[in-house]
C-alpha cells in the first residue's frame, strides 16, 4: 500500500498489485458484461459517452444517465468482497467503465451525487495503464497517478474538494476496464 495524499480528512491509498489474476479478470469482464454507450448532455448538446459503461446496484442517476436497479453478478460480488476487506467499507454498487483504446476518456468531474455516500470510493483498474488525474476544486493543486493493471485506488472523503479525469492519449493504448465501487444510500 502507498499513501499518495493525506490531509486531515482526505486520503488517497494505492495498492499497485491488488488483483493477481489480472488477465482472467479483464477477459471475464470484457466478454461477460453487457456494455453500453450512453448519450450524455453537455452544454445543451447530446454526445456519445467517450467509453462504454455498465451498472450493478440500486437505481442510480448521474448527468443525464439513469441506471435501473440491477443485481451484481457473483463474479463481481467476489471482487467487491475483496475490495471491502481492504477498504474497511461496505459497497452496494459498481459502475464499470470500459476504455476501449486511447480515444476513450472521462472529463473532469467529482462523484458527488446526493444519493451516494462519498466517504469512500474504490477504483479497481484492469488492462492497459492510464494516467488518472486529480485537481483540487479551490486551490487547483494537481496530482496524477499511472493506474497499473490489477491496481486498487481508495479515495476517502475525496469527492467534496477534488475532481478527477482520464484524458485521451496520442499513443496507442490497449483496453482498460475500471470498476468504481460505491455505496448508494
List of E strands, the chain: 2-6, 11-15, 39-42, 45-48, 52-56, 60-62, 65-67, 93-99, 106-109, 116-127, 130-136, 142-147, 152-156, 162-166, 176-184
- The rounded distance, in Å, linking the Cα atoms of 122 and 101 is 23
Per-residue confidence (pLDDT) for residue 62, from 0 to 100: 81
Domains present along the chain, CATH in parentheses = 2-184 (2.60.120.590)
Per-residue confidence (pLDDT) for residue 40, from 0 to 100: 84
pTM: 0.93
Q: What is the pLDDT of residues 18-73, one digit of tens each?
A: 987 777 889 999 999 999 999 887 788 888 999 999 999 999 988 788 999 999 99
> Do 79 and 124 form a contact (C-beta atoms < 8 A)?
yes
Q: What is the pLDDT of residues 153-181, one digit of tens each?
A: 999 999 999 999 999 999 999 999 999 99
Amino acid at each position: 500500500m502507498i499513501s499518495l495524499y493525506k490531509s486531515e480528512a482526505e486520503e488517497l491509498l494505492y495498492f499497485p498489485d491488488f488483483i493477481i489474476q489480472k488477465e482472467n479478470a479483464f477477459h471475464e469482464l470484457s466478454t461477460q458484461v453487457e456494455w453500453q454507450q450512453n448519450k450524455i448532455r453537455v452544454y445543451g448538446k447530446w454526445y456519445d459517452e467517450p467509453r462504454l459503461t455498465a451498472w450493478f446496484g440500486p437505481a442510480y442517476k448521474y448527468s443525464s444517465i439513469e441506471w435501473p436497479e440491477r443485481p451484481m453478478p457473483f463474479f463481481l460480488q467476489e471482487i467487491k468482497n475483496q475490495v471491502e476487506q481492504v477498504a474497511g467499507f461496505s459497497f452496494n454498487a459498481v459502475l464499470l467503465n470500459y476504455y476501449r483504446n486511447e480515444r476513450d476518456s472521462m472529463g473532469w468531474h467529482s462523484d458527488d451525487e446526493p444519493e451516494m455516500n462519498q466517504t469512500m470510493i474504490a477504483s479497481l483498474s484492469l488492462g492497459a495503464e492510464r494516467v488518472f488525474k486529480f485537481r483540487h476544486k479551490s486551490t487547483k493543486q494537481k496530482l496524477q497517478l499511472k493506474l497499473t493493471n490489477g491496481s486498487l485506488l481508495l479515495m476517502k472523503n475525496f469527492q467534496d474538494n477534488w475532481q478527477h479525469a482520464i484524458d485521451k492519449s496520442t499513443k496507442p493504448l490497449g483496453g482498460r476496464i475500471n470498476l468504481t465501487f460505491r455505496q448508494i444510500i
